[in-house]
Amino acid sequence: MSNSKPILVHDAPAVLPHRVLKPEKPGPHPTVVMIHGYLGNEDVMWIFSQTLPLDWLLVAPRAIVQEGADSFSWHSQLPSDWPTLADFDTAVDQLTKFISTLPDKYNADPEQIYLMGFSQGAAAAFALAIREPERVQGIASLVGFMPYQVEDAMDTARLSDIPVFMAVGTEDDSIPLDMARECGKAVRAMGAFLEYREYDTGHKLNRTGMRKLRQWWMERLALLERLY
């Protein structure tokens, strides 16, 4: 990598403030958009960068709703309500615009855009892929969930053949296990090529999950190298 640490970018053409780690090699670059969860920011997803292929472009955007000094979310969340697909429409619009800037700004390969979301960020990733499946080559969902009211996407196999990795915590007090399993069924019903894994942990990824996540990303890399 040309930069040992991701740099903060906060300017109007970027659409969303974000941190970026640019590859040393010439592009166009396979790109992972790392989408943080509720009350997170552009700094918190970098722990997962250790699982990602070297020489890929990594970007972590900041969410659109400010909840505190350094805390943001992708929609205004009420604790008693499980979000619907429509709740993520504004986030999807902003993320789509953000992703569309990456080829010109960082020489991202528009044909090789991957999403990795944590918790609410995974829901935003699923919402984006449902609305704009042609933009997404794969999704890693880390203790995340599928929004409600996605029946049309299930009926039309909206995520047809998109590889998806879902890591679920069996002791998760934020995303109940029964709900996570139903979300996995919904992802599969949408036609995704799903790898679903449960881990004995809470609302986080443990070491076993991190190793499996890295393996999944290496499989994406190997497939890409075979294609090119």
Domain positions in the chain are 7-66+83-227
SS3 content of the chain, % helix, strand, coil (to 5): 40, 25, 35
Average pLDDT of the residues in 26-38: 96
Q: Which has the closest alpha carbon to 200: 172, 179, 170? A: 170
Residue 28 confidence (pLDDT):
96
Q: Is 7-66+83-227 in CATH node 1.10.8.50? A: no
Residue 11 confidence (pLDDT):
81
User: Residue 101 is inside which H or E element, if any?
Assistant: helix 89-106
Q: What is the pLDDT of residues 130-163, one digit of tens each?
A: 999 999 999 999 999 999 999 999 999 999 999 9
Is the pLDDT confidence value at 178 over 60?
yes
41 CA to centre of own chain: 14
**Cα dihedral 168/171/174/176 (nearest 10):** 70
Is the pLDDT confidence value at 3 over 50?
no
Residue 76 confidence (pLDDT):
82
**Cα dihedral 135/140/146/151 (nearest 10):** 50
Q: Mean pLDDT score of the chain, rounded to an integer?
A: 94
Residue 2 confidence (pLDDT):
44
Residue 78 confidence (pLDDT):
65
> Where does the pLDDT of residue 175 fall: very low under 50, low under 70, confident under 90, or very high at 90 and above?
very high
Q: Which has the closest alpha carbon to 98: 127, 137, 55, 128? A: 128
